[in-house]
Chains A and B, each alone.
Chain A
Amino acid sequence: MIRPLPQIGQRGRAVLAVSQGCVEWLEVTPRNQRRYACVELESSSVPDIARAARAARDAAGGKAERCRLTLGTGFIEHTLHSLPALSRKELGEVVHRRVHANSQEEGTPLLYAAQETGPLPESTHSWLALSVQREFSTRLLVELRRRRIRVRAVTATALAALSRLDRSEAEDDAAEIAIAVDRDSVEVFLVSGQTLVSCESLDGNFQEDAHMAAGLLQTLRSVAAFWRKSRGGAGIASVHVLGMDPERAAILEQAIAGVLPEAEVVCEIEVEGEEQDLPLARVSLLEACLRGSSLVPELAISLPPRRSTEILGLALCATALLGGFGMIRKLVRGPQEVMLQEITSLSGQTAHLPWLQELGRSSEERLEAVERRAARAREVRRSGIDYRRRMTELLLAFRGRAELKSVSVSAASSGTHEVSLEATTGVSAVDSLPLIEEIQTLLADTPGFSNVRTNVPTRIEGEGGGLAFSVRVSLEAAS
């Protein structure tokens, strides 16, 4: 069965395919018109490829600046791995190791991306890995960018057939085979439900090599046998062929039907009207690349900034630097010079400040010493017993009440003087007692005197002759 090419939406409008001998540009316009051109490569060097890519786009009348880059055999490698369930870190290490181990360019840094493509028996998973040489791919993308072709993602042309499998409608156990006929190889994929089970590659040009057809049929037999054996006799539901000329596709369809009689064979190459002039086999293959597939990993390679961007950035930086520096200098210089002049002037005006400070300090010290000497002299003069005042107070207390016989004031001890008084009254003993009490009261009421103690004899002989007694008083010391 030959199926017409499906409609392509707005997304993914252009694809650039690089093969060993040529570069092709396919662009699908918003009106679903296909513009295609193929330019022969002079060599496989990066500049030649980029030049041919630009020429192909111009020849096709393409206008798209962004495209998907799909690489053929020799430029990109894809491998299918069966891996157990691992942590993300372990998975990264294993994939890295396996991708580099399978690389034909040993020791060359690679860019790779691997994607899980479904579960396999015995708790393993199918992983499809895609790898390119880091330097080659980066240089190629930079060269293409210089020629105004920006690459969104890089993939392998051989994996295009996987986009043709309508996996959402596939039964769980139904197996499908997708065949992609590229310029330099033929890929055979076995997909069951959501899982990419196997991937077989036949190197060679199918259009030119007559033995390739026999090899392809043999591979189909092997794949079908493998599937029957692993799934207990299950058959192949359908076979999708992509990239085959319509004439040869009909012959191949019959041959496949002979090998896999139970399978439906689908060749998607038929187009209508003016587009019949296009090489339909290549267009169908490249359109499949445009669509992509959830099973196919893509390499979204980030590029260093353009030289012009770098120069522009540097120029902006330099401008900002010089401008900022100049502006700040201009803003700062004026006020700073004014202040510096004022500082110079002020310094001249205050040159004698140290002398003034020294003069003030020494004068203050000398005045302080004068004040201290005066205070000390006042303190000295206040020391000792205030003789006149205290004697007057004592005499007043005794006047008219008793005659003072002796008075003594001891030297100050513990802040007080001890005053001892001896006196005699001029009246009878009975009349003397009130007088002694008066003396005691008067002394006790006098400021500075305290602790007044009188000593009156307990035995009194005779009525007259007066009464001798003594008084002891504490006197607060002046200093």
Chain B
Amino acid sequence: MIHRVHNLRQGTWSSLLKTGAPGLFTVAALVGAIGLPLGDLYSTRADHAEALATRRRTEALQDDVVAFEAAGGPGRLVELERESRALLPRDLSPIRLNAALRWLAATCGMKIETLSVGEPDTTSFDVIDEAVGLRRVQLTGSCRLEALGELIDHLRGLGYPTALLEFRFERDAEVESRFDVSATLGLYELVPPPVVIEELDELPPPE
């Protein structure tokens, strides 16, 4: 085997680089010259696709608006809102409630001995603009068994959402068809939403 040592290739790479510099520049410039317009074209295509999608969304929304108008439009929506807000009463007056209850009880043949109307308590019902409060009505007296149901129906008929929370009947010793009654009714009404007071996690250090 013949061993050789030489420096004939020293500088070959730099020479090649120098020679190939125009070629490299051309390749880079070609990539730029081709890439930039192509990039613009792809960008325009993306914008075009986005514009088409926007038009489809607009058309779909316009169809929805037409259907909405056909169903009554904003006027119908306002009406629905008003009706939905009126599904529950608000600002019940205890005095008027008391009077109404006594009158209705009499109508049902119920003899009332005591009647108390409380302040509204909070409930767990959904809060939508306003909360739902429960006003407890406690009454005692005497009546037939059917009278309590009639009283509740009359209250509901007058627009008071009423729930029977608890009751007790004791048969009257003298008149067999009558019972001593004590019952707790719940009348629902809209009240302002409860104010949430955020508690501080940490009190500031004393100065």
Known: A321-B26, A359-B65. A380 touches B161 (CB 8 A): yes
**Interface readout for B81-124 with A: 1 if CB under 8 Å, 0 if not?**
10011011000000000000000000000000000000000000
The contact string, 1 if C-beta is below 8 Å from chain B, for chain A 371-408, is 01111110111011101100100010000000011111
Q: CA of A376 to CA of B30 in the docked complex: distance in angstroms?
A: 69
Indicate whether A320 reaches chain B with its CB closer than 8 angstroms.
Answer: yes
Q: Are B23 and A317 in contact (CB under 8 A)?
A: yes
User: Smallest Cβ distance from B55 to chain A, in angstroms?
Assistant: 5
Q: Are A409 and B166 in contact (CB under 8 A)?
A: yes
B58 and A372 form a contact (CB under 8 A): no
CA distance A15 to B66 in the complex (A): 98
Contact A406 B171 (CB under 8 A): yes
How many angstroms between the C-alpha atoms of A367 and B71 in the bound complex? Answer: 13
User: Which residue on chain B has the smallest CB distance to residue A311?
Assistant: B22
Query: Complex: how many Å from CA A408 to CA B183?
Result: 9
Closest to A355 in B: B61
Q: Which residues of A contact B148 (CB under 8 A)?
A: 387
Q: Are A350 and B9 in contact (CB under 8 A)?
A: no
Q: When the two chains form the complex, which single residue of B22, B54, B168, B179 contacts A350, counting CB atoms closer than 8 Å?
A: B54
Check: B5 CB closer than 8 A to any chain A CB.
Answer: yes
Residues of B within 8 A of A356 (CB): 58, 61-62, 65
Q: Are A370 and B168 in contact (CB under 8 A)?
A: no
Q: Are B171 and A411 in touch, CB under 8 angstroms?
A: no
Q: Is A210 in the interface zone, CB < 8 Å from B?
A: no
Which of B4, B55, B161, B170 is in CB contact (< 8 Å) with A113?
B4
Please state if A328 and B6 are interface contacts (CB–CB under 8 Å): no
Query: Min CB distance, A361 to chain B, in Å?
Result: 10
> Are B41 and A336 in touch, CB under 8 angstroms?
yes
Q: Which of A103-137 contact B (CB under 8 A)?
A: 110-116, 127
Q: Which residues in A have their C-beta under 8 angstroms from that of B170?
A: 405-406
Are B51 and A321 in contact (CB-based, < 8 A)?
Answer: no
- Pick the contact of A92 from B5, B85, B169 — CB < 8 Å? B5
Partner of A373, one of B85, B145, B161: B85
B196 at the interface (CB under 8 A from A): no
Cα of A381 to Cα of B152 in the assembled complex, Å:
12
Residues of the A chain whose Cβ atoms lie less than 8 Å from the Cβ of B152 = 387
* A-chain residues with CB within 8 Å of residue B15 when the two chains form the complex: 302, 304
Closest approach, in angstroms, between the C-beta of B60 and any C-beta of chain A? 9
Q: Residues of B contacting A339 with CB < 8 Å?
A: 44-45, 47-48
Query: CB-CB < 8 A to A95: which residues of B?
Result: 5
**In whole angstroms, what is the CA distance A228 to B19 when docked?**
56
Instruction: State the CA gap A324–B26 with chains docked (Å).
Output: 11
Min CB gap B186→A, angstroms? 6
Interface size class of B (residues with CB under 8 A): 35 or more
Return chain A residues, CB-CB under 8 Å to B47: 339, 343
Interface residue? A369 (CB, 8 A): yes
A445–B62 Cα gap in the complex (Å)? 57
Other-chain contact of A91, B5, B12, B22, B48 (Cβ < 8 Å): B5
Shortest Cβ distance from A364 into B: residue: B64
Chain B contacts for A446, CB-based, 8 A: none
Given A302-B8, A336-B44, A339-B44; A376-B128 close (CB under 8 Å) = yes
Residues of A328-384 whose CB lies within 8 A of B? 328-329, 332, 335-336, 339-340, 342-343, 346-347, 349-350, 352-353, 356-357, 359-360, 363, 366-367, 369-370, 372-377, 379-381, 383-384
Q: Bound state CA distance, A93 and B166, in angstroms?
A: 110
A32 proximal to B (CB < 8 A): no
Query: B2-21 interface mask toward A, CB cutoff 8 Å, 1 = contact, 0 = none?
Result: 11111111001001001100
CB contact under 8 A between A391 and B165, given known A113-B5, A376-B128: no
Q: Is A301 an interface residue (CB 8 A)?
A: yes
Stretch from A52-60, A157-165, A185-193, A292-300 forming part of the interface with B? A292-300
Verify B145–A370 contact, CB threshold 8 A: no
Residues of A within 8 Å of B145, CB to CB, are 391, 395
Known contacts A360-B61, A367-B77, A373-B84; is A387 also within 8 Å of B164 by CB? yes
Q: Are B44 and A384 in contact (CB under 8 A)?
A: no
Q: Taking CB as reference atom, which chain A residue is nearest B62?
A: A356
A 54-108 contacts with B by CB, 8 A? 88, 91-92, 95-96
A-chain residues with CB within 8 Å of residue B179 when the two chains form the complex = 406
**CB of A226 within 8 A of chain B?**
no
A301 vs B8: C-alpha distance when bound (angstroms): 6
Q: Mark A9-38, 1 if CB is under 8 A from B, else 0.
A: 000000000000000000000000000000
- As a 0/1 sequence over residues 186 to 205 of chain A, the CB contacts with chain B under 8 angstroms (1 = contact) are 00000000000000000000
19 pairs, A vs B, C-beta closer than 8 Å: A111-B7, A115-B4, A115-B5, A116-B4, A297-B4, A299-B8, A320-B26, A320-B30, A321-B33, A332-B37, A332-B38, A343-B44, A347-B51, A360-B65, A374-B84, A376-B87, A385-B166, A387-B152, A405-B170
Q: Identify the A interface with B (CB < 8 A).
A: 88, 91-92, 95-96, 110-116, 127, 294, 297, 299-302, 304-305, 310, 313-314, 317-318, 320-321, 324-325, 328-329, 332, 335-336, 339-340, 342-343, 346-347, 349-350, 352-353, 356-357, 359-360, 363, 366-367, 369-370, 372-377, 379-381, 383-385, 387-388, 391, 395, 404-412, 417
> Can you add 5 more A-B contacts, CB < 8 Å, to A324-B34, A325-B30?
A115-B3, A302-B12, A346-B52, A349-B58, A387-B164
A-binding residues in B (CB < 8 A): 2-9, 12, 15, 18-19, 22-23, 25-26, 29-30, 33-34, 37-38, 40-41, 44-45, 47-48, 51-52, 54-55, 57-58, 61-62, 64-65, 68, 74, 77, 80-81, 84-85, 87-88, 125-126, 128-129, 132, 145, 148-149, 152, 156, 161-171, 179, 184, 186, 188
